[in-house]
Each structure stands twice: as structure tokens, then as C-alpha cells.
Amino acid sequence: MTRLQANFLLLAVALVWGSAFVAQAHGMDGLEPFTFTGIRFLLGVCIVAPLAWRDLRSISRRDVRPEQRDMLGVVVLGLLLTLGAVFQQIGIAGTTVTNAGFLTALYVPLVPLISWLIMRVTPHWSVWPTSIGCLVGTWMLSGAGSLSLSAGDAWVIASSLFWALHVLFVGRIAERIAAPFLVACGQFLVCGVACLLWASLTETITLEGIQRAAVPIIYTGVISVGFAYTGQVVGQRYADAADAAIILSAETLFAALFGFLLMGDRLNAMGLAGCALIFVCILAVQMMPLMASRRAGRV
């Protein structure tokens, strides 16, 4: 695969993930958050399972097998995925698709901050101004300049913390096991089962509700969870790191576009400025460390 083909693949991934916010919003018409999330991630398991089986066969031929703590790590990833996905799903019911897309992306500057707090990894200096910029952008977007957040916005912002923790640990665990599709399938399975178990205790699951939400379930489960994740893994193997960072960040813009076209989302000037500020900060916190490392490499 050429670099250009990989970039187009990642652009398709960003488009799918951005449009999935609309499908998630419509999915709440027939189902409650845990039920919807559980079913769509179990569908994702079905899509990734053949690739996970290939990874499993590859592991069986190695001299070094995954340890018990690696399996525990996959379970932890699944629980972080569960919290991130469910909090986001609850939030989408109380906010706009545009807000959900941009506020979810707050996990990007949170990753280096959490890495610094937990692992004492010194972040690039750009983390501090971009984090402040994201806070200001969130204030402008969510409250349109006021000092309050809607309940939906607050849930989505909370989900970004779990997405950040997930991103921080998924690379380490996948690298240790050296089986990315097996890790993906395992965490999807944990998420799906955990959500449906909790849904059976707290929500009403009906066949009619599942039928009403069938299209959003299929789109978010098969296309967003299954195919888009696989496309990301393949695309990032061949794309330049800077290209991938920029292209995948376009998920927020696609969420806003689909929210505008399909959900009737409209922002005032303050909200638009907040979106722009968040997007610029997300790009900066990814691009500036990459540019600095390249300059250091040339030196």
C-alpha cells in the first residue's frame, strides 16, 4: 500500500467515525445506552474475529507466549472502553452531535497529561498551551460563552478521560502481545459482555427496541467498530505519522458536518470559534512533538 492510499484509507476511517455520532444519536430512539453499546461492540467482535484468530495462530507458533498479566491488561482495556463508550452514549442523548464530536476529541491533549501524572513521562511543552486552549474552546462551545455545561456535554467530557486512559495503555499492551487484532477483539468482547450484563439489570431490553435501532446498531457495530478500526490499523502501518495525526483528527470536522446535514445542528459565532480553537489545539499537540523529533533527527 502506498502512502497516498493509506492516507485515503485513514480519511475514510475519520469519515466513518465522524458519521457514527449521528447513528449513535438515532440508536437511542429504540434502546438505552448500555444495551446499544453492548450489541454494537459484540457485532464488532464478529468482524474482527477472523483477524484475531490469525493473530492467535501466530502466537501459538512463538516460543514466548502472552503472560497472565497481558490477559488481565486486555480485560482492563475492555473496561476502559466500556466506560468511555457508555459515558459518550449517555452524553449524546443530551447534547448535539457537533458538541459530542469535538468534546470527545479532548482525549488527545489529555493523553500526554495523564502520561505525565501516572508515568512521569515529561510531555512536550505544547501540551500546556493546547490544554488551556481546549478548556477555553470547551467553554465557548458547550456553554456558548456562559459558565455552565449541559448534562450531555459533561458526560461526553467525562468519557474523554476514559478514552485517554484507553489510548495510553492500548499501545503498550498490544506491543507486548504483538497481536493487535487479538487485543481489539478481546477488548470489544469484554465491553460488549459487560454492557449487556449491566443492561440486563438496569435497562429494559425488547425485540421491538432492537428492531427500531437495527440500522444504527449495524452501522456503528459493523462499519464503525469493525471495519474502521481495522482500516486504522492497516492505514497507520503505511501512512506517515504526521499525516495520520492530521487525517484522523478530521473525525471532529466530519461529526460537525454530519450533525449539520442530518441532525440540524447549528452553532452561533461563539460556538464556531470554540470548535475552531479545539481543532487547532488538537492538531498542534500532535504535530509539534513530531516536528521537533524530526528536527532533532536531522541534527
Cα gap 130→28, rounded to integer Å: 33
14-28 pLDDT, tens per residue?
999 999 999 999 998
Cα gap 42→21, rounded to integer Å: 18
65-74 pLDDT, tens per residue?
667 787 898 9
pLDDT(148) > 70: no
pLDDT(141) > 70: yes
The pLDDT of 117-132, averaged and rounded, is: 84
pLDDT(63) > 70: no
Minimal CA–CA distance to 279: which of 89, 87, 138, 123?
138
Domain boundaries, the chain: 3-105+150-266, 106-149+267-299
C-alpha dist (Å) from residue 193 to 55, 199, 200, 257: 22, 10, 11, 33
Helices 180-202 and 33-60, packing angle to 10 deg: 150
pLDDT at 59: 81
pLDDT at 147: 52
Cα gap 5→251, rounded to integer Å: 18
pLDDT(221) > 80: yes
pLDDT at 196: 96
pLDDT at 79: 96
pLDDT range class, residue 47, cuts 50, 70, 90: very high
Minimal CA–CA distance to 268: which of 93, 99, 52?
99
Cα gap 265→237, rounded to integer Å: 35
The pLDDT of 56-77, averaged and rounded, is: 80
The pLDDT of 107-115, averaged and rounded, is: 86
Q: Is the dihedral of CA 85, 87, 92, 93 positive or negative?
A: positive
Cα gap 267→270, rounded to integer Å: 8
pLDDT at 64: 62
pLDDT(199) > 90: yes
The pLDDT of 207-225, averaged and rounded, is: 92
E-strand ranges in 62-133 read none
pLDDT(259) > 80: yes
pLDDT(210) > 80: yes
Q: Which residue has the higher pLDDT, 31 or 290?
A: 31
